[in-house]
Chains A and B, each alone.
Chain A
Amino acid sequence: MTTLGLPPEARCDGILRPGNTNCAGCGMSIGLQWLEQALEHERPTLCIPACCGIVTAGAFPTSAYGVPTIATTFASSAAVGTGVSAVRAINDESDLTVCWAGDGGTYDIGIATVSAAAERNENLIYICYDNEIYGNTGGQRSSATPQGAKTSTTTRGKAETKKDILAIMAAHRIPYAATLSVAHRDDFMRKVKTARRMHGFRFLLLLSPCPTGWKSEPEESVDLIAMAVRSGLFPLYEVFDGRRFRLNARPDGTPVEEYIKRQRRYRSETLDVSALKDEIREQWAYLEAMSRAFPPSPGDLRE
């Protein structure tokens, strides 16, 4: 009998095994590898709804995930995660449960489930890798799609602006809500570790570049996210108990036009750059004011 692939002893049983079929430049792939490193090879149970993240697993009987993984129905990852985490607690098992979901399963079809699990403060780390489209079905509009971006269902560019999911989740007064960038590794590691230390519902939002959907160059994925952070478009910040704010990186004057120009998904005839700049300014004024008025407590900053 011939054995396909690596011999068992050489197999990497991290979260994401080599040999998966993810696209080059996929932010989710970086996110999964960094998650593995941040968790220091702890082996969580993953609950992944319909999204690119479950396509990553590959086809039966193979699995690109080296940890126990449940492919849940689209809207259900936070509820399936609730069941797993509840039983782990009943059995005094310390295993961590992580929901790993795209923007469709988080912002749209799954939002009632995510909101309810957050309200019950279930003991879960919920990570949304947000590529701002339904990537799995070929790139349709979601409520995470930014204004002016072309998708297969907004061929002239989306008219509406993006939903502020982090504010929505923080408003549930969950212990921890934070944004993650694939261009800021130390910040990513620290936040996952912070989340791991806590108990209850922890929400992490990863802006995940998608060269296929964003019509960008795969090798520029990380640069694009760096630009999104530096221009102020994607603020890196943390919210503790929905009340106390900490900003992690301030805009450095990088023009948001540079971020937009490098992606062919933005339609110049629809995208309102000046409105976007106003929005970024207002968002930062809000975050600055909140972080001054409601800074983190010493307990929040414990490493």
Chain B
Amino acid sequence: LAGEANRVARGAICGAYPITPQTEIIEDLRGFSFTKGRVVPVESEHSAMAVCIGGALAGARSFTASSYNGLAYMTENVFAAGYYRLPIIMIGVNRTLGPPWNIWTDQGDTLALRDAAWVQFYTESHQDLVDTILLAFRVAEDRRVLLPALVAQDGFVVSHTQMVVNLPTQEQVDRYLPPLDLPHRLRGKGVTVGGMTFPHDTEVHRREIQAAMERVPEVLAEAIDEFEKVFERRPHGLLSAEYVEDAETIIVACNTMARTLRNVVKRRREHSERVGLVKPKLFRPFPRAAIAQALARAKRVGVLDRNHSPGSGGIFWQEIAASLRAPWLPSGQAPLLQDYLVGLGGGDVTPELIDEIIEDLRVRKAAEEPVWKEVLA
């Protein structure tokens, strides 16, 4: 499905290396016939990204996909793509980093790349995935952004299941995504891309990347409006805040966990419980202001982190903790914030587990260190 989304987006160059559970994307891409484009079957993820870098610098729309240890192996060139300011799109099929080897999903692999100067999206369903890939191209290639973007999806839960999906037509996508016009495309001029810089120029480079990141929410909002005009439906935004207006307790979760959570919240709402949910879709840049606004009126907030930063805790929790303070929230108003480490290594995050967490949160007087909610199965 991700491969199909790229095909209609007219990605022209792709370095491709198979890794479970991403393999099907690569197989599909290799199977497609491109009028103008080439999928290069490389020898490693590191080279897959390198091919995208070369292709993008030569001016082509570039695309690849990877997962867990493949992403870790690719890391050097993932950073390089960000620092070269190339609007490459990559699907990250979330799978638990090993060893020990584990094929199931958690978000630790893509979150480990959070500092790589890539825009990061986390998607909850097949439709969300397709829509977000198209949005990602539009945002990444915008002159105000010019950064690569990673679109994460849960391994197996999404990557190996099927759903009826509204797939846009080629004509619609061509209208939505005009051909890439990369300002620093290499042609003719004697310039060196990525050569040596002294400290000050490096600072300027990093500040420009930060400024580009800060423009993402605005560019994304425009991309969503334009999406609606072209495809006649509205995709998920940078963040979904549901039932938060009067909620005393809010749970935050990304990816497919958010869908389970939504069902739990709906059921509890039927019993007039003041529970809400927030699902961040955009992780880089982290939408601090929107998060703070969505959580501002709650008494208690619980974060479901399907990832683990050893020595700290959940990564979404760290980001949210940094958002619940001035200037995004008036000081002294922050809700109680508790982290729950759930579903690590792909354990099922069931409605029962979420119920248990809501009950724990409701009686909680103070926050403590991240709580491990292990799945005993």
Contacts and interface: CB of A to CB of B under 8 A. Distances in A.
Given A83-B15, A84-B58, A115 B43 contact: yes
A86 B47 CA distance: 14
B191 A69 contact: yes
Interface in A60-83: 60-61, 63, 65-73, 75-76, 78-83
Contact of A87 (B12, B41, B193, B195): B12
B90 to A, nearest CB: 14
Contact of A69 (B42, B48, B192): B192
Nearest to B201: A60
Interface in B39-94: 40-44, 46-48, 50-60, 62, 76-77, 80
Contact of A60 (B43, B50, B59, B197): B197
Given A68-B189, A72-B194, A79-B54, A86 B77 contact: no
Report the contact-size class of chain B (Cβ under 8 Å from the partner).
Answer: 35 or more
A91 interface: yes
Contact of B193 (A71, A78, A95, A115): A71
Contact of A58 (B12, B188, B195): B195
Interface string A173-216: 00000000000000000000000000000000000000000000
Given A58-B196, A63-B190, A86-B13, A113 B54 contact: no
A120 interface: yes
Given A79-B50, A113-B43, A115-B43, A57 B192 contact: yes
Contact of B195 (A71, A78, A93, A95): A71
Contacts of B54: 47, 70, 72, 79-87
Contact of B196 (A57, A72, A87, A120): A57
A165 B69 CA distance: 30
Interface string B185-208: 011111111111110010000000
B196 A83 contact: no
Contacts of A76: 46-47, 50, 53, 77, 80
Among A57, A80, A82, A93, which residue has the most Cβ atoms of chain B within 10 A? A80
Given A59-B197, A71-B193, A76-B53, A113 B47 contact: yes
25 contacts: A17-B190, A55-B196, A58-B192, A59-B201, A60-B192, A60-B198, A65-B192, A69-B191, A70-B192, A72-B194, A75-B47, A76-B50, A76-B77, A80-B53, A83-B57, A83-B58, A84-B55, A86-B51, A87-B55, A87-B59, A89-B38, A90-B13, A95-B187, A113-B44, A119-B43
